[in-house]
Amino acid sequence: MRDDYEILGVSPDATQFEIKRKYRRLARKYHPDVNPSPSAERHFWQVRKAYERLSQNAYAREIAVSKSEPEQEETREDIELKLQKISSPGWRRYAARHNRVAPKKKGKSWFAVSLLAIFIVFLLILAYFRLTGQLILPIDFF
């Protein structure tokens, strides 16, 4: 059985981006909707399974690396720099302008909808009385 790296045509030290790019190219090439060859579907599934296995391995490898590296503590200079940034007048103006919640605008649409509903009800009542013969109007609306 061929190696997953060999199926995708990438080196074992390839990045996740390179693996993904190569997978997309091969998937496009061997996809059954694009390639009518009988062996294309088999190649497509091999490429897909290899990519899934390599993606899971790369994700597990990233987690292992991140757990093995100790978290860096913030130095006093970093903390002071953040405090200066927060307390600077320019930053406060920017934050005041962009962090406020915009007040909700009261719309007048409820008024228009109410008028429309009243008009429709009026027309329905008028049509009902007109059809039952209980209303006789000198002007023919309908």
What are the residue boundaries of the structural domains of the chain, listed by start? 4-68
- Give tens-digit pLDDT for 82-101: 777 777 777 777 777 777 77
Q: Specify the pTM.
A: 0.43
The span from the CA of 25 to the CA of 90, in Å, is 48
Fold of 4-68: Helix Hairpins (1.10.287)
Note the pLDDT tens digit of each residue in 67-83.
Answer: 666 666 778 888 887 77
Give yes or no for a contact between 40 and 30, defined as CB atoms under 8 angstroms apart.
Answer: yes
